[in-house]
Each structure stands twice: as structure tokens, then as C-alpha cells.
Amino acid sequence: MIKDELKKRNLSTYRCSKLSGIPYTTLLELVNNKSKFENCTLKTINKLASTLNISISKLIANELEYRMPFEEFKSEICHKYKTLGDINFIKYVLQNDIITNYYRKTWNEETLYSLAILDYVSKINNIPLAKDYNYLRSKKLKNKIFPRDINLLTKFNGKTQYKKSILKNAIPEFLKYNIVETNINNVF
């Protein structure tokens, strides 16, 4: 969000730091999402908002947005897919640019899950992949994300056989991002 505002005003992070009086390292961490506004004083937030000539609420809007747990997110997007159907779902994702929106928020799990479902639905309908997201297709999550139920089964009985078994049936478009998904139609 700050990067976009700086770009709109043709301001570098360094120049914004000088104009606002905010230490460069503090501002750089905010710009690169390595720090959050909740770690800043109101004075710092106010200085930045004033320098960018925007309201405080607009400046911190991304941090005020609710981020649902990943399992809920998966359920929501799969419900959307099931409700809209293949082609309308693809249109919905592309027209609303949800993948880029999640990426800008640095919500990596949501970004890659959305891209995986888009690519998977495109593949099963023989539709070429949306080239706008090629820059994301080489990324993947640091650790594999298994469905909650599989994690619970593994934790409950201490056996990893469930994870090994589900990996064999995982959808490749998801697995390439380290997300283990076997069925996008099986939502409640």
C-alpha cells in the first residue's frame, strides 16, 4: 500500500523519510511489509499520512482488514467456484484480480491457492493460463500445507501415513505451490 502511494507521488522511500522525519529504516520496514503499523507510534503514522496527503484510515486500511483462517478461506473460494461454475469462476477471478490483491497484501497462502485453483479450472476446461500471473508461477510456500483434517489425524495417532497417502492424490496445480489439495468440489 505504501509502495503504491510512493509510486503515485514519484517519491522514493529515502525522500519520503526526509520529508516526513521518519527514520529511513523504520519507513523501509513499513514499505517492505517487514513491520506493521501496530508497532508504530501514532505520531509516526500521522507523519506518514500527512507526507503522503492521505487519511490515516486509508494508510492503515490493509492492516485493519480481517484475514480469515486459511481453512475458511479455502472453503469460501471453493464455494465461490461451486456456485459460479467453471467459466464464471475464471471470469470472477480475472475481473476482480483477486490474485494480485492478495499478493499486494503479502497473503501468500491465499495468493497461491487462488492461482492454483485458477490454473486447475483453466486446465480442465482447456483454457490457456492467464499470463498476467506468470511472475507468481515460480513461487511456492516454504512448507507444505495439508488439509486440517489430515493434520489432526496425524497429530492424533502420530502416524504420517495419512500425509503420504494424500500426497499421491494431490492436484498438481496446487502441489507445485506446496499446497496439498485433492478435491475443490468437496466443500461444506
The domain covering 2-64 belongs, at the CATH homologous superfamily level, to lambda repressor-like DNA-binding domains (1.10.260.40)
CA nearest to 69, candidates 147, 140, 156: 147
pTM over 0.75, yes/no: no
- CA 153, CA 155: separation in Å to the nearest integer? 5
Q: Which residues are 179's β-sheet partners?
A: 145
| Other CB atoms within 10 A of residue 157 CB | 10
CA nearest to 114, candidates 126, 127, 124, 130: 130
Question: Going by C-beta distance under 8 Å and a sequence separation of 6 or more, which residues neighbour residue 33?
Answer: 106
pLDDT tens, residue by residue, 87-134: 999 999 999 999 999 998 889 999 999 999 999 999 999 999 999 999
pLDDT tens, residue by residue, 16-36: 999 999 999 999 999 988 888
Which residues of the chain form CATH 1.10.260.40?
2-64
Question: Going by C-beta distance under 8 Å and a sequence separation of 6 or more, which residues neighbour residue 60?
Answer: 37, 45
